[in-house]
């Protein structure tokens, strides 16, 4: 199964990806995590990407596309992949189609997690992430048992530089300008599964997502949950 998770920053892509990973054997490929890992390791790619990330801007397409296409060549992608944060615009989507087609593969479904903008702002403002396992927590809705420590692995929790208020607004603007057209793009190709991710717990969204992934899409049909 080749899946794409679409949704604004804070829509819950990372959390649903973790549920999906448990349920299906899919390689989770998150472009933002790959950039952050590179930045922490101080690679050239990472330091360059950080200059864009800190401003809430997208990293240029050529850099992003080559990083993802390299990752797609790794052996763990054979049984399926779950792309999170990529593609973010039409040029990236076209590059992905081409690369998959060259190896006889295609995207099966595109899951769009739809969350109202007000809720996104609130979620991103209080978000804390585990520096070891990337599990997200929230000051209000998902507090860790021990303040500052991850419930799963005990790792230190930190607030991402780009989760600061001014950067959050820019990231959302960028998302709506560049990524929104992808929703039409995949809808026209009968791939889109739209999930209402607003006002629900992560587990509630997961139930919807799991149900939606089960029935096969018929031609011309767009599902809403
Ligand atoms: P995310 O963790 O998905 O919110 O991504 C964090 C940041 O990484 C974004 O604000 C961008 O600067 C960069 N980034 C992640 N994915 C992409 C992508 N597909 N294209 C360009 N920039 C990206």
What residue spans define the domains of the chain? 2-26+79-213
Q: Whose CA is nearest to atom 6 of ligand 1?
A: 32
The values of phi and psi at residue 7, to 5°, are 165, 155
Q: Would the CB of 15 count as within 6 Å of ligand 1?
A: no
Residue nearest to atom 4 of ligand 1 (CA): 9
Q: Tell me the pLDDT of the chain averaged across its residues.
A: 90
Distance between CA atoms of residues 215 and 103, nearest Å: 26
Site to probe by mutation for ligand 1, drawn from 14, 88, 94, 130 as the one with most ligand atoms within 8 Å of Cβ, is 88
Report the pLDDT averaged over residues 78-99: 93
Catalytic residues: 13, 88, 127, 160, 171
| Tokens encoding 37 | 């890992």
In the reported structure, the alpha carbon of residue 209 is separated from the centroid of ligand 1 by a whole-number distance in angstroms of 23
pLDDT at residue 104 above 60? Answer: yes
Q: Name which of 181, 187, 209, 212 is nearest 197 in CA terms.
A: 209
Please write the tens of the pLDDT for every residue from 169-220. Answer: 888 988 888 888 999 999 999 999 999 999 899 999 999 999 998 765 555 6
Per-residue pLDDT reduced to its tens digit, 9-50? 889 998 899 888 888 888 999 999 999 999 999 999 999 999
- Binned at pLDDT 50, 70 and 90, residue 4 comes out as very high
Please give the structure tokens belonging to residue 157. 């929790």
- Closest ligand 1 atom to residue 58 Cα is 22
Q: Which atom of ligand 1 is nearest to the CA of 68?
A: 19
What H or E segment, with its residue span, contains residue 32?
helix 31-41
pLDDT at 87 over 90: yes
Taking alpha carbons only, the member of 1, 29, 18 closest to residue 191 is 1
Per-residue HEC secondary structure of 39-80 comes to: HHHCCHHHHHHHHHHCCCCCCCHHHHHHHHHHHHCCHHHCCC
Which residues fall within 8 angstroms of residue 176, CB to CB, at 6 or more apart?
A: 8
Strand partners, 136: 129
Nearest CA to ligand 1 atom 15: 32
Q: Quickly name the fold that domain 2-26+79-213 has.
A: Rossmann fold (3.40.50)
């Amino acid at each position: 199964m080749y899946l794409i998770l679409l949704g604004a920053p804070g829509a819950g892509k990372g959390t649903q990806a973790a549920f999906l990973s448990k349920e299906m054997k899919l390689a989770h490929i998150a472009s933002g995590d790959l950039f952050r890992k590179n930045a922490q390791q101080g690679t050239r790619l990472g330091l360059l990407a950080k200059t864009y990330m800190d401003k809430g801007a997208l990293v240029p397409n050529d850099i992003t596309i080559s990083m993802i296409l390299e990752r797609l060549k790794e052996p763990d992608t054979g049984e399926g992949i779950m792309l999170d944060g990529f593609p973010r615009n039409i040029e990236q989507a076209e590059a992905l189609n081409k690369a998959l087609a060259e190896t006889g593969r295609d995207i099966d479904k595109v899951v769009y997690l739809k969350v109202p903008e007000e809720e996104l702002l609130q979620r991103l403002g209080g978000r804390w992430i585990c520096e070891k396992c990337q599990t997200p927590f929230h000051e209000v809705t998902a507090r860790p048992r021990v303040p500052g420590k991850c419930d799963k692995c005990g790792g230190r929790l930190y607030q991402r530089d780009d989760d600061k208020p001014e950067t959050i607004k820019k990231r959302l603007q960028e998302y709506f300008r560049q990524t929104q057209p992808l929703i039409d793009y995949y809808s026209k190709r009968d791939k889109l599964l739209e999930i209402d991710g607003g006002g629900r717990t992560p587990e509630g969204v997961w139930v919807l997502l799991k149900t939606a992934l089960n029935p096969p899409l018929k031609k011309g049909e767009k599902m809403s949950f």
